[in-house]
Amino acid sequence: MPNRDDAWALLCEWTPSEALRKHALGVEAAMRAMAAKHGGNEALWGMTGLLHDFDYERYPTVPEHATNGSAVLREKGYPEEVVLAILGHASYTGVPRETPMAKALFACDDVQPDRKIASVKPESAKKKLKDKSFARGVNREEVIQGAQEVGADLLEHITFVRDALVKSADTLGL
């Protein structure tokens, strides 16, 4: 089975954008924290977060994103659990999120690390979600649905993800 180094190499090969790599590292950090919270395999969950958008720059459109990448992941020997979670993070694939790892990936995907992560106040972030100019590319309904799928209220989920990112602030350049 491929390991984290293999996943990082694949991400770097397919993802030249520094911003998208940081997003992947942020989702990896949040997924590792989710695994610890839910009794999952931190390495596996983290690798899933790291790879969830690895194909986005080559296949940014629906339905190619996630679908085309999943074939590559299968070919490279990634576990089916990882492939299905990555397919499930894109609602348009129709792949149900049946495992805690898949639900966590969906819930953590909207991580967009910025330079002020430690100063983010969860209450303010929750309020700002009502402002369409804040985090313009984030699907608010999916943020709320993701929190529900992992059994958290929205404020609890925002706080949890923020805290996971703060722990990885040096790696993320935050």
Segments making up each domain of the chain, as ranges: 4-172
- The rounded distance, in Å, linking the Cα atoms of 110 and 106 is 8
CA 123 to centroid of chain Cα atoms: 21
Helix (H), strand (E) counts: the chain: 10, 0
Enumerate residues 6+ apart whose C-beta is below 8 A from 94: none
CATH fold for domain 4-172: Hypothetical protein af1432 (1.10.3210)
Taking residues 27-42, what's their average pLDDT?
Answer: 93
pTM: 0.74
Chain mean pLDDT for the chain: 86
Residues 107-149: tens digit of each pLDDT = 888 765 555 665 566 676 776 677 676 666 777 788 888 888 8
Count of alpha carbons within 13 angstroms of residue 83, beta-carbon side: 16
pLDDT, residue 57, reads 95
pLDDT at 31 over 60: yes
